Chain A
Amino acid sequence: MVSLTIDGQRVAVPEGTTILDAAKKIGIDIPTLCYHPDLEARAVCRVCVVEIEGQKLLQPSCAYPVSEGMVVHTNTPKARQARRMAVELMLARHPQGCLECIRNQSCELQALAERLQIREIRFERKLRDLPKDESTPAIVRDPDKCILCRRCVAMCHDVQAAGVLYPTNRGVDTVVTPAYQRAVSDVSCALCGQCIHACPTGAISERDDTEAVWQALADPNKHVVVQTAPAIRVSIGEEMGLPVGTIVTGKLVSALRRLGFDRVMDTDFTADLTIIEEGNELLHRIKNGGVLPMITSCSPGWIKFGEHFYPDLLEHISTCKSPQQMFGALVKTYYAQKMGIDPKDIFSVSLMPCTAKKYEADRPEMRSSGYKDVDVVLTSRELGRMFREAGIRFEDLPEDEHDDPMGISTGAAAIFGATGGVMEAALRTVYEVATGKELGALDFVSVRGLDGIKEATVDLDGMQVRVAVAHGLANAKKILELLREGKAPYHFIEIMCCPGGCVGGGGQPIPTRMDTRAKRGEALYLADRSLPYRKSHENPAIKEIYRDFLGEPLGERSHHLLHTHYTKRGKYPWLSS
């Protein structure tokens, strides 16, 4: 332990602790901006500077380790002056369009300016007038709002291993971009949106598609159907002012009804369906010498990453569409038939924790109903904006239930939203299908939690099935490199693009950090335990859809509606185009 004094208070902390963390321990919250608790400190913004006795220069507390006997002052005129100066300089070349900014009230720069009581900016305003990048259906980049903190760069390279964004040029000309100033649509971006969570300002955001949904809701000729992703029910509460990890399934359903959706159904239903199809695909591959290990396919950020970086491994990925796209394909076929509605009059909206889902819905192959299967994807943040604009208050809402026929689901589907959840859900079903025996303990705890890579071996009546789970693309990359070298000793691998799984998706409420990801994940496991059915194959609505419509798993209709194929895109897609 190291003892030091901060603002006159003694504190003892482990060696290697930063001044910032030591101060936090005694209730001193030093202002920061480029610091992010989940990313390596880069100490470039100079907002967290403090005075250390015996040192002439101010030091960045986010990166400066404590030492024995150190005497630190965090709140001196010199430190305050330096902080203000740093923030004023940033603001002098920032558009300051807070009122019309997508990050109004969730912007760290705005909050910091308020906290430091910046009332005037002594420097001449010099805007850069850089072009916006709106080249993808998922992510918008507005480099004029960038303060060059480089958090997105750390996220993109260190956590997500995509390495798309990097600072280019230098000094006042620095701009964070893809290589050779290419558009995001040109490069090997997974569209995971984790850069949005890293960004303290509105320089990176989701494409807002709320207007299209408002219009559909106001159109009397449209039958507007909505699906709610597993991870939304434990995160949308945050958009509505509730604590992190509050389960709001029932309130979400009644809020959607109040917005005017004609039918509120559940992606969890098609998550159960995914388990039936994917579980059978796995057993089929094992029995028939198919390509193993098989990798899950529900996470569209992972799919796009795989298409760019591992085009040689695409045969390992399950051909199952994601639950979102299974729902989309069924809502304009099965549901339309059952309800006697012309599919051209159905407007299908999906509520997702994810930006990559917007891209997935736009893929040309995702039109197996003969129409665009999912018309619009909204992230949690966009849905929160719609609820707030409509004046819906979650605390006063009753708890409603999802509509049938695609609204009944199991606990297995709920946990899809957490890392390891798809694997656990699949194992619950695969075990019983393969062995014909009832599974005693349903909880596969070894695949739960936030370790980057988790492994387990499951005994299927004598056959040892080895599984692995990775979340965050840098972790996925480790397993994929092993697989490429022929050294991945698994039958089945779950890959989730985002850290923590979908609960930490790029479309989730701001802030999304490791602690929020963990709390939302725990809530999903709670939801799982509270549901009457916890195994996908026991879902009565699933039994019904196979009986009435699909026939059998992996059958002709499933093949047409529920399975897909992938595209070899390569790391440098612009070279081939």
Chain B
Amino acid sequence: METPEVEKCRTGSSGQPDEIDSILEKYRGRKDALIPALYDIQKVMNYLPESAAVKVAEALEVPVSKVYGVATFYTLFSVKPRGKHIIRVCESAPCHVLGAMNVVKELERELGIKVGETTKDGRFTLELTSCLGTCGVAPAIMIDDVVYGNLTADKIPHILSEYR
């Protein structure tokens, strides 16, 4: 069953095209504002569909190929629909050494998806990320804006239950 939010994102319209236009109003003609513009739009749309990228390209007067290039360069942006909650597992060396892969495996098992995928109910997307800057509590994950550290596989179900 899909939540209404995800349904909106999948269609790429989000039901409020005017909202995109009003976000872009303050960036019009500003080639330097590509990242903030994409960030604001993704906050509303959950991801960056092609239709939104075209609007960004028009407003900022940059080629849409560049919009797509920037949107795919940064892991915080997505050009594919994503779940309501984004789980990012740190894949840098300290987390890796302290068992990040066990955490990934447990997340995949619990959610029934692989890294890069979204659960059928549209609730979670599982991604890898570069260093979260919390090496002191490695291995760490971040769900939306919240970091969880000192993880072991057995802590995962409880953490996820907060978001279910």
Residues of A near any B CB (own CB < 8 A): 157, 162-170, 177-180, 187, 571-572, 575
Query: Are B68 and A180 in contact, with the CB atoms below 8 A?
Result: yes
B54 touches A166 (CB 8 A): no
CA distance A99 to B20 in the complex (A): 51
A170 to B128, CA, bound (A): 14
> Is B73 touching A179 in the complex (CB atoms < 8 A)?
no
A180 to B66, CA, bound (A): 10
A157 touches B63 (CB 8 A): yes
Distance of A167 Cα from B68 Cα, bound (Å) = 9
User: Which interface class (under 10, 10 to 19, 20 to 34, 35 or more) fits B?
Assistant: 10 to 19
- The digit string for B55-70, where 1 denotes a CB below 8 A from any CB of A, is 0000000111111110
Chain A's closest residue to B63 (CB) is A163
Q: Is the CB of A169 within 8 A of B53?
A: no
Inter-chain contacts of A169 with B (CB < 8 A): 72-73
Q: Which one, B54, B69, B72, contacts A575 given CB within 8 A? A: B54
A163 to B54, CA, bound (A): 13
Q: B62 contacts which chain A residues (CB < 8 A)?
A: 163
Chain A residue numbers with a CB within 8 Å of B73 are 167-170
- A167 touches which one: B53, B64, B69 (CB < 8 A)? B69
Q: Which of B53, B64, B65 has the most CB of A within 10 A?
A: B65
Cβ-based interface call for B50 (8 A):
yes
Question: Taking each of B63, B67, B73, which has the highest tally of chain A beta carbons within 10 Å of its own beta carbon?
Answer: B63
Q: Do A572 and B68 touch (CB < 8 A)?
A: no
Q: A163-B64, A179-B67 are in contact. List 4 more A-B contacts (CB 8 A).
A: A166-B68, A179-B50, A187-B65, A571-B64
B71 nearest in chain A by CB position: A168
Contact, CB under 8 Å: A572 / B72: no
Among B50, B54, B63, B69, contact of A168 (Cβ-Cβ < 8 Å): B69
In the bound assembly, the distance between CA atoms of A179 and B58 in angstroms comes to 14
Q: Which residues of A contact B76 (CB under 8 A)?
A: none
Tell me the smallest distance from the CB of B125 to a CB of chain A, in Å: 17
Would you list 26 pairs from A and B whose C-beta atoms are within 8 A, ordered by A residue? A163-B62, A163-B64, A163-B65, A163-B66, A164-B63, A165-B65, A166-B63, A166-B65, A166-B68, A166-B69, A167-B73, A168-B69, A168-B73, A169-B72, A170-B72, A177-B65, A178-B65, A179-B53, A179-B65, A179-B67, A179-B68, A179-B69, A180-B53, A180-B79, A572-B54, A575-B54
Say yes or no: A572 contacts B64, CB within 8 Å: yes
Across the interface, do A164 and B72 meet the contact criterion of CB distance under 8 Å?
no
Interface pairs A-B: 6 shortest CB-CB: A163-B63, A166-B65, A179-B68, A166-B69, A179-B64, A168-B72
Q: How far is the CA of A179 from the CA of B53 in the complex (A)?
A: 9
List the interface of chain B (C-beta within 8 A of A). 50, 53-54, 62-69, 72-73, 79
**Across-interface contacts of A164 in B (CB, < 8 A):** 63, 65
Q: How far in angstroms is the closest Cβ of chain A from B61?
A: 11
* Cα–Cα, bound, A271→B63 (Å): 35
Chain B facing A: main interface SS: helix
A472 vs B54: C-alpha distance in the bound complex, in angstroms?
A: 25
A572 surroundings in chain B (CB, below 8 A): 54, 64
User: Which A residue's beta carbon lies closest to that of B53?
Assistant: A179
Q: Chain A contacts of B64 at CB under 8 A?
A: 163, 179, 571-572
CB distance from B47 to the nearest CB of A (A): 12
User: Shortest distance in angstroms between A140's beta carbon and chain B's nearest beta carbon?
Assistant: 19
> With a CB–CB cut-off of 8 A, which chain A residues contact B68?
166, 168, 179-180
Q: Which chain A positions have C-beta within 8 A of B63?
A: 157, 162-164, 166, 179
Bound CA–CA A572/B55 (angstroms): 11
A571 to B61, CA, bound (A): 12
Q: Which residue of B lies closest to A167 (CB)?
A: B69
Q: Smallest CB-CB separation from B73: which chain A residue?
A: A170
Inter-chain CA distance A177–B53, complex, in Å, is 15
Tell me the minimal C-beta distance from B80 to chain A in angstroms: 11
Among A163, A164, A165, which residue has the most Cβ atoms of chain B within 10 A? A163
Which of A163, A177, A180 has its CB near the most chain B CB atoms (within 10 A)? Answer: A180
Query: Shortest beta-carbon distance, A393 to chain B, in Å?
Result: 44
Given the interface contacts A157-B63, A163-B63, does A180 sit within 8 Å of B50 by beta carbon? Answer: yes
Q: Whose C-beta in chain A lies nearest to the C-beta of B69?
A: A166
C-alpha spacing A167/B62, complex, angstroms:
15
Query: Taking the nearest CB of chain B, how far is it from the CB of A569, in angstroms?
Result: 15
Inter-subunit contact B66/A166 (CB<8 Å): yes
A177 to B65: give the CA distance in the assembly, Å.
8
Docked Cα-Cα span, A167 to B72, in Å, equals 9
A162 cross-chain contacts in B, Cβ below 8 A: 63
Question: In whole angstroms, how far apart are the Cα atoms of A565 and B69 in the complex?
Answer: 35
Query: Within 8 Å CB of B53, what residues of A?
Result: 179-180
- Residues on B with C-beta less than 8 A from A163 are 62-66
Closest beta carbon of chain B to A162's beta carbon, Å:
8
How far apart are B28's CB and chain A's nearest CB, in angstroms?
17
What residues of A have a CB within 8 angstroms of the CB of B50 in the complex?
179-180
Q: How far is the CB of A217 from chain B (nearest CB, A)?
A: 40
CA distance A37 to B14 in the complex (A): 47
| Alpha-carbon separation in the docked complex, A496 to B69 (Å) | 29
Across-interface contacts of A165 in B (CB, < 8 A): 65
A571 to B57, CA, bound (A): 10
Complexed CA–CA distance, A187 and B65 (Å): 10
Tell me which residues across on chain A come within 8 A of B79, comparing CB atoms: 180
Q: How far is the CA of A312 from the CA of B118 in the complex (A)?
A: 43
- Identify the interface centre among A157, A164, A168, A179: most chain B CB within 10 Å of its CB: A179
Shortest Cβ gap from B13 to chain A (Å) = 14
Q: Please report the C-alpha to C-alpha distance between residue A250 and residue B162 in the assembled complex, in whole angstroms.
A: 82
- Assembly CA distance A168 to B66 (angstroms): 8
Q: Which residue of B lies closest to A575 (CB)?
A: B54
Per the bound structure, the CA–CA distance linking A575 and B12 in Å amounts to 14
Distance of A177 Cα from B79 Cα, bound (Å) = 15
A contact residues around B67 at 8 Å (CB):
179
Q: In this complex, what residue of A is CB-closest to B65?
A: A166
Q: Whole-angstrom distance between the alpha carbons of A137 and B33 in the complex?
A: 37
CA distance A180 to B53 in the complex (A): 9
Residues of B within 8 A of A157 (CB): 63, 66
A162, A166, A572: residue with the most chain B Cβ atoms closer than 10 Å: A166
With the chains together, A163 CA to B62 CA distance in Å?
A: 8
Q: What's the least CB distance linking B126 to chain A, in Å?
A: 18
Q: Which residues in B have their C-beta under 8 angstroms from that of A179? A: 50, 53, 63-65, 67-69
Q: How far is the CA of A501 from the CA of B53 in the complex (A)?
A: 34
With most chain B CB atoms within 10 A of its CB, the pick from A168, A169, A187 is A168
